[in-house]
Amino acid sequence: MRCLIALLKINPHDHYEYLMQLEELEALASTIGYEVADRIVQTHQPRPKYLIGAGKVKEIKDLIQTKGIDLVVFDNFLTSRQVFELEEAWDIDVIDKFDLILNVFEAHATSREAKLQIELARLNRNVPFVKTLLGRRVRAEHPGYGGAGEFIVHSSLTGIRQRISKVSSELDRHEAQKEILRAKRKEVAKIVSLAGYTNSGKSTLLNTLTGEEQLARDELFTTLQTKTSRIRWNGEKILINDTIGFIRKLPHVLVSAFKATLSDIRESDLILLVTDFSNPLKEILQKLKVSRATLKEINAESVPLIHVFNKIDRLNTEEIQFKLGELESAVQNPVLISAKYGLNLDELKKKINEALYSST
């Protein structure tokens, strides 16, 4: 599928940040096999009808025809009205980053719980779309609206809300079971969670620390459900969680749907916040900001934390020293590693032991 990615810049001065957003959106699209045919950016204040201006709508329509584009993906979040207006103007599907993330999640979901979490997010996301779509149809078929028209809308929404309630109840049961399992685990072992931005190398680090072979691909969101492995250091048993990755502008509905999975981070004894140190400096700072904000949103900011800068094998000594100097005020005493090649793993293990057992 050929797609065009689009972004409305509200602040004309944040060029680098918007460039990162486009690259991330392109990476998400590529993860599920979309071919990115072009990028479109407009700097303007949001418009209520299309989000972008009418002239840009016409420009994109011409691109759709000349480049054979099947789908337009917006980094900005779209209202239901904007999606319908744009689809009507272009006669192809239009989605935003929320929908794209859900598409990526669906491509990687294997467990029953993950599939339910995605369904719950989709159902909540679809409520305003169903309202808008049914409202349009009812007004077209029953110009006076009211009466029978309102019954059609409300009866359809009732079915969706009943499904939301059923899925939420099943996920609550999953969460209750996980709480019992967590409590039992904490009685016998300390728990360390690998957290951080998606594609920072958490799964590779888990494999290196444990000698296991969890899936670790160079793409976004290969981990949707927490994977737990057991290791022994100095006679002590430690459980290590590989958790779902963070991402810029992760919708609150998704955070809510994945609360059981994200709570594994909150209930840990220690968090290893893994960051891809091979990224440009501005991107590292942005991803650290997003990761810390996500930890705060899930009430995990008080859990002891070690910053782990990964993928140092991609940098030379001068680049490493420069970045460390620039990050000195933002990050205290990070551990620099290469999870792929096992560099500095002994230092990381030492810091983990100190964090877990120095006060006991």
C-alpha span between 174 and 119 (Å, rounded): 15
| Final residue of a structural domain among 104, 123, 147 | 104
- Domain containing 57 equals 2-104
Q: How far, in Å, are 25, 65, 124 from residue 227 at the CA level?
A: 26, 45, 27
The CATH number linked to 336 is 3.40.50.300
In a domain, 320, yes or no: yes
Q: Are residues 217 and 117 in the same domain?
A: no
- How many structural domains does the chain have? 3
Q: Alpha helices of the chain — where are they, by DSSP H? A: 15-31, 54-67, 80-90, 97-108, 112-141, 148-188, 202-210, 252-257, 259-266, 281-297, 317-327, 345-357
C-alpha span between 140 and 304 (Å, rounded): 58
Q: Are residues 155 and 281 in the same domain?
A: no
In a domain, 46, yes or no: yes
Q: Are residues 244 and 337 in the same domain?
A: yes
For the beta sheet containing 35-43, the strands, ordered from the edge strand earlier in sequence to the opposite edge, are: 35-43, 2-9, 71-74, 93-96
- pLDDT of residue 348 exceeding 60: yes
In a domain, 330, yes or no: yes
Q: Are residues 132 and 44 in the same domain?
A: no
- The token duo for 63 is 């691109």
In this structure, are residues 253 and 97 in contact, taking their beta carbons and an 8 Å threshold?
no
Q: Are residues 195 and 322 in the same domain?
A: yes
Instruction: State pLDDT tens for residues 151-183.
Output: 556 677 888 899 999 999 998 998 888 888 878
Q: Are residues 124 and 82 in the same domain?
A: no
Q: Are residues 64 and 141 in the same domain?
A: no
Which residues, in sequence order, are bridge partners of residue 197?
A: 246
pLDDT at 237: 85
In a domain, 233, yes or no: yes
Give 87: exposed, middle or buried? Use CB within 10 Å, 0-12, 13-18, 19+: middle
pTM assigned to the model: 0.81
Find, among 246, 238, 239, the residue nearest to 276 by Cα: 246
CA atoms within 13 A on the CB side of 260: 24
In a domain, 315, yes or no: yes
Q: Are residues 53 and 135 in the same domain?
A: no
C-alpha span between 73 and 3 (Å, rounded): 7
- pLDDT of residue 50 exceeding 50: yes
Residue whose structure tokens are 């690259």: 23
Q: Are residues 96 and 134 in the same domain?
A: no
Q: Are residues 229 and 140 in the same domain?
A: no
pLDDT at 78: 94
| Final residue of a structural domain among 104, 127, 160 | 104
C-alpha span between 233 and 236 (Å, rounded): 5
In a domain, 180, yes or no: no
Categorize the per-residue pLDDT at 138 as very low, low, confident or very high, splitting at 50, 70 and 90: low
C-alpha span between 97 and 250 (Å, rounded): 9
Q: Are residues 154 and 200 in the same domain?
A: no
In a domain, 61, yes or no: yes
Q: Which amino acid is at 123?
A: L
In a domain, 212, yes or no: yes
pLDDT at 144: 47
Q: What is the mean pLDDT of the chain?
A: 86
Q: Which amino acid is at 175?
A: E
In this structure, are residues 78 and 94 in contact, taking their beta carbons and an 8 Å threshold?
yes
Q: Are residues 268 and 339 in the same domain?
A: yes
Least confident residue range of 44-53, 172-181, 233-242, 250-259? 250-259
The CATH number linked to 34 is 3.40.50.11060
C-alpha span between 198 and 218 (Å, rounded): 10
